[in-house]
Amino acid sequence: MNELADFKIRNTFCDLSSEELVEKVHQRMDEKRFLHCIRTSKTAEGLAELYHANVDRAQVAGLIHDYAKEIPIEDFKKIIVYENLDPDLLNWNRAIWHGVVGTYFIEHELGITDQAILDAVKKHTTGAPEMTTLDKIVFVADYIEPARDFSGAIKTREAAKTSLDSAVGLELTQSIEHLVSEKLPIYPETIISYNVWGTN
Ligand code: GDP
Ligand code: FE
Ligand code: FE
């Protein structure tokens, strides 16, 4: 497991050690997704250095961004109802829930309450009209981590070397094009984000 060699979280932003946090993330998902999370963490760290964001937050946010992706659908539905979240969420699926609702599980199971990290996780799938540098870093890192080899990822990786905002715009544009080509419904937040970052 090359990705895991020397991988250590410097500041876990919770009471867990680096080993405990990584192990808990690992337990919630299959091996493939776990390694994607490690690569996203490393990519987010690199972007944070380049764009002068907090490298420790980027490292943790990248690691945990998909923490909730394999949590059972029924568990998400319960949280949406019991926590009085927007009822329209019930019309969507885990592709949308794992970020915006997934932070509930991150707070309760990992004990991470840092709002900047939680916001970046919430926005990592759809983007948002207002994004901090950390939000943009996690959004882009997820899309350009080294194992992403489709043409959209290659273009976005290139753009991210010189402009984080251009990378966000390109990612949103390509994601919407992809969703349209598959005749999939587009979550309103994705469209609102595209209108801000993908147009000029
Ligand atoms: P991943 O969790 O690492 O696979 O990456 P993401 O969190 O970015 O995306 C998760 C899934 O959500 C992908 O399959 C996207 O195509 C899908 N997705 C992103 N935005 C939308 C949207 O607006 N509508 C729908 N239906 N799916 C979306
Ligand atoms: Fe995701
Ligand atoms: Fe991801």
Look at residues 63, 43, 60 and name the one whose alpha carbon lies nearest to residue 137.
43
Q: Which residue has the tokens 């207002």?
A: 130
> What span, in angstroms and rounded, lies between the C-alpha atoms of 1 and 61?
21
156, 170 contact by CB (below 8 A):
yes
Look at residues 187, 8, 4, 9 and name the one whose alpha carbon lies nearest to residue 114.
9
For every one of its 200 residues, what pLDDT tens digit does the chain have, with 9 covering 90 and above?
A: 688 989 999 999 999 999 999 999 999 999 999 999 999 999 999 999 999 999 999 999 999 999 999 999 999 999 999 999 999 999 999 999 999 999 999 999 999 999 999 999 999 999 999 999 999 999 999 999 999 999 999 999 999 999 999 999 999 999 999 999 999 999 999 999 999 999 98
Instruction: Output the pLDDT for position 2.
Output: 81
Number of the ligand 1 atom closest to the C-alpha atom of 187: 23
Which residues does 1 contact at the CB level (< 8 Å), separation at least 6? 35
Q: Is the CB of 69 under 6 A from ligand 1?
A: yes
First to last CA, the chain: 43
Which residue minimizes the CA distance to atom 12 of ligand 1? 95
Buried b (16+ CB within 10 A) or exposed e, 112-130: bebebbbbbbbbbbbbbee
Predicted TM-score of the model (pTM): 0.97
Which residue minimizes the CA distance to atom 20 of ligand 1? 126
Mutate to test the pocket of ligand 1, among 96, 125, 176 (most ligand atoms within 8 A of CB): 125
106, 66 contact by CB (below 8 A):
no
Instruction: Output the pLDDT for position 10.
Output: 98
> What span, in angstroms and rounded, lies between the C-alpha atoms of 46 and 156?
15
Number of the ligand 1 atom closest to the C-alpha atom of 33: 3
Instruction: Output the pLDDT for position 181.
Output: 98
> What span, in angstroms and rounded, lies between the C-alpha atoms of 25 and 27?
5
